[in-house]
Chains A and B, each alone.
Chain A
Amino acid sequence: MTRAQGSTRIQRLLALLNYLYLLLMMVVIAGIITAAMVLQYARGELPCPLCLLQRVAMFGVCFGIMQNFRRGFSYQNTGFSLLFTILLLIVSVRQTLLDIYPRPGHAYIGSAVFGIHMPVWSIIIALCLLGAYAAKLAALGGDEYLDEAPPGEFPLVKTLADILGLYVIAICAINLVSVFLQCGFNSCHTFGYRLLQ
């Protein structure tokens, strides 16, 4: 094996790791939103306005990742994902501070998972996303190898990413209908679905 061939192999391996990493991030986000939807529909825990904004932020993060698979890697897509990660962090920190001091009308909404409530989990999720991007940049470095190996070079990963992308669009559509039923064109409340009453 010549030196050039070895270099090409390493570049393909780095590209594959990059795409697998992004795919894993999207799987985790889709899983978190799905879990929130299960709690909403199976246990009747309606999301509050700030909870809904946190879901929007997660869909925004997915947009950046999906675009990397649809059109090839771009730092602009990473920028979109990071913008929505910061939005997720700001909204969840503010919601945690809102309910941190128990008083009438203010308590953490919904069930605690492992003793931690949803807004605190959202802070952890946002920090994990920021950490994941930082770790990816530190471990996999720049993007020069991605020019040589677009997502289409790895058919299995591309197919999985396409299926997951369609799933994310589907759960976003369900959330859109659900939000419309819950809030209509007014402010959102957790008492029930406004348009079904």
Chain B
Amino acid sequence: MMMLMSYQPTMAVVFASVFLALVFGWLNRRALAVTCLLACLALAVWQFLFEIYDPKTGFRMPWIQTQLQDSYEQPG
């Protein structure tokens, strides 16, 4: 996973694949269109994982993590 996250797919390629899927779909080239669409989905997921991955914290989101207070005082 670490190795995968060190490579970044290009956003222009993601857009090019969805554009080709739309064009091939319009021209009734179904097999090509579906291939481009699935390639686009895979590249988009990869791009998404690359964007949200942090070498220090991984996929965690430490800024919204909460901790249980040790000295929690009951109200009243």
On A, residues with C-beta under 8 Å from B are 49-50, 52-53, 56-57, 59-60, 62-63, 66-67, 70-71, 80, 83-84, 87, 90-91, 94, 97-98, 100-101, 103, 106, 165-166, 168-169, 172-173, 175-176, 179-180, 183-188
Choice from B30, B40, B48 contacting A60 with Cβ under 8 Å: B40
- For B11, what are the chain A residues with a Cβ–Cβ distance below 8 Å? 49, 52, 179, 183, 188
Q: Is the interface of B mostly helix, strand, loop or mixed?
A: helix
**Contact, CB under 8 Å: A172 / B26:** no
B5 within 8 A of A: no
Cβ-defined contact, A70 with B28, below 8 A: yes
Q: Are A97 and B61 in contact (CB under 8 A)?
A: yes
- 14 A-B residue pairs with Cβ-Cβ distance under 8 Å, sorted by A, are A49-B11, A49-B51, A50-B51, A52-B14, A53-B51, A56-B15, A60-B18, A63-B22, A63-B37, A70-B28, A83-B41, A87-B48, A176-B12, A186-B10
Whether B23 pairs with A169 at a CB distance below 8 angstroms is yes
Query: How many angstroms between the C-alpha atoms of A80 and B26 in the bound complex?
Result: 15
Nearest chain A residue, comparing its CB with the CB of B18: A59
B72 lies within 8 A of chain A by Cβ: no
**A63, A101, A165, A186: the one within 8 Å of B18 (CB):** A63
A183 to B14, CA, bound (A): 12
- Interface contact A172-B18, CB-CB below 8 Å: yes
Chain A: minimal CB distance from B1 (Å):
17
On whether the beta carbons of A70 and B26 are closer than 8 Å, the reply is: yes
| B36 and chain A: residue at smallest CB distance | A63
Instruction: Name B16's closest neighbour in chain A (CB-CB).
Output: A176
Chain B nearest Cβ from A70, distance in angstroms: 6
CA A189 to CA B24, docked complex, whole Å: 30
Question: In the complex, A98 Cα to B63 Cα: how many Å?
Answer: 8
Cβ-defined contact, A87 with B19, below 8 A? no
In the bound complex, residues from chain B placing their C-beta under 8 Å from that of A179 are: 11-12, 15
List B contacts of A101 (CB < 8 A).
63-64
Complex formed: what's the CA distance from A179 to B18 in Å? 13
| A98 to B53 Cα, complex, angstroms | 12
Find residues 22-76 in chain B having any chain A CB closer than 8 Å to their own CB: 22-23, 25-26, 28, 30, 33-34, 37, 40-41, 44-45, 47-48, 51-52, 61, 63-64
